[in-house]
Structure 1
Amino acid sequence: MGVLVPLARLLFSAIFITSGLNHFIQLDALTTVAQNAGVPEPRWAVLVSGAALVLGGLSVLLGVLARLGAAAIAIFLVTAAFMVHRFWLVADPVQAQDQLIHFMKNLSMAGGALFIVYFGSGPFSLRRGGRQESGLGGGRLGSPLRH
């Protein structure tokens, strides 16, 4: 069962690493999207968020500073949800539904990132000394029945 944690880190981080790289590959297009959404300093916002996604995704994947990386991902996701996916402002019902799906997806993934912030990276991490990250506030991996 121990292999589930690194598999989960891989599956969770893949979208952030690829999306972050896409921020650089599609810089002009994403800058236009950010500008149209009213994001201040849209080009810088795309560059900084791209770096946060790539570095955050890699840190979660490798288990190195995973809490910090997951926190950066969570901040990005919540910010993007409220700044870019404002479904409540969209008049067309089809487009509003699409934005609602993106909004809820971001909040859901932010919740997953916060689990990593709390519990840490888990087994098979490339962290210094091979010790498991201790939980913030006492969180730990394992059965909740043991608490």
Structure 2
Amino acid sequence: MGVLAPLGRLLFSAIFITSGLNHFFQLEALTGVAQASGVPEPRMAVLASGVALVAGGLSVLLGVFARLGAAAIAIFLLAAAFMVHRFWLVPDPVQAQNQLIHFMKNLSMAGGALFIVYFGSGPFSLRRKKAEGLGSGRLGVPLRP
């Protein structure tokens, strides 16, 4: 059963690593989207969020500072949901539905990221605690920083 944690980290982090890289490959297009959404300093926001997504995704995947990486991902997802996917402002019902789907997807993934913030990366992480038995979470699972 221990293999579920690294598999879950892989499946969870893949979208953030690829999306973060896309922030650099599609910088101009995403800057335009951010600007149209009213994001302050849109180019800098796209670059910073790209770094946060790639670094956060890699940290979750490898289990190194996974809580910090997951927190960065959660912050990005919540900011994007409320700043970019404002379905309540879209007059066209089809486009509003599309934005609602993106908004809810971001909230859902932010919830998953917050689980990692709370529980840590789980077994098979690259980072090891100095004193393994120092703290333990619910169900006797050791906490990972």
The two structures share one fold, judged by TM-score above 0.5 = yes
Letter in 1 for 2:16: F
Structure-1-length-normalised TM-score: 0.90
Q: Deviations over 1:100-125 (max 9, x none)?
A: 00000000000000000000000000
Once residues 133 and 20 of structure 1 are traced to their aligned partners in structure 2, the CA distance between those partners, rounded to angstroms, is: 35
Does the 8 Å contact 1:52/1:72 carry over to 2? Answer: yes
1:6 matched residue in structure 2: 6
| Distance apart, 1:140 and its partner CA | 4.1
From the superposition, tell whether residues 110 and 61 of structure 1 become closer, same or farther in structure 2 (CA, over 3 Å): same
Once residues 92 and 32 of structure 1 are traced to their aligned partners in structure 2, the CA distance between those partners, rounded to angstroms, is: 20
Counterpart check, 1:73 vs 2:84: no
Does the 8 Å contact 1:118/1:139 carry over to 2? Answer: no
Once residues 133 and 90 of structure 1 are traced to their aligned partners in structure 2, the CA distance between those partners, rounded to angstroms, is: 52
2:61 matched residue in structure 1: 61
Does the 8 Å contact 1:122/1:133 carry over to 2? Answer: no
Structure-2-length-normalised TM-score: 0.91
1:100 matched residue in structure 2: 100
1:82 matched residue in structure 2: 82
Once residues 133 and 36 of structure 2 are traced to their aligned partners in structure 1, the CA distance between those partners, rounded to angstroms, is: 41
| Unpaired segments ≥5 residues, structure 2 | none
Once residues 34 and 141 of structure 1 are traced to their aligned partners in structure 2, the CA distance between those partners, rounded to angstroms, is: 43
| Unpaired segments ≥5 residues, structure 1 | none
What RMSD in Å do the two structures reach over aligned CA positions?
A: 2.0
Q: Superposed, which structure 2 residues align to 1:1-147 within 5 Å?
A: 1-129=1-129, 139-140=137-138
Letter in 1 for 2:52: A
Secondary structure, in 3 states, of the residue corresponding to 2:56? helix
From the superposition, tell whether residues 131 and 29 of structure 1 become closer, same or farther in structure 2 (CA, over 3 Å): farther
Letter in 2 for 1:21: L
| Distance apart, 1:134 and its partner CA | 7.8
Identical columns (%): 83
Once residues 27 and 110 of structure 1 are traced to their aligned partners in structure 2, the CA distance between those partners, rounded to angstroms, is: 23
Number of residue pairs matched by the alignment: 141
From the superposition, tell whether residues 103 and 30 of structure 1 become closer, same or farther in structure 2 (CA, over 3 Å): same
Once residues 73 and 45 of structure 1 are traced to their aligned partners in structure 2, the CA distance between those partners, rounded to angstroms, is: 14
Letter in 1 for 2:115: F
Once residues 72 and 104 of structure 1 are traced to their aligned partners in structure 2, the CA distance between those partners, rounded to angstroms, is: 18
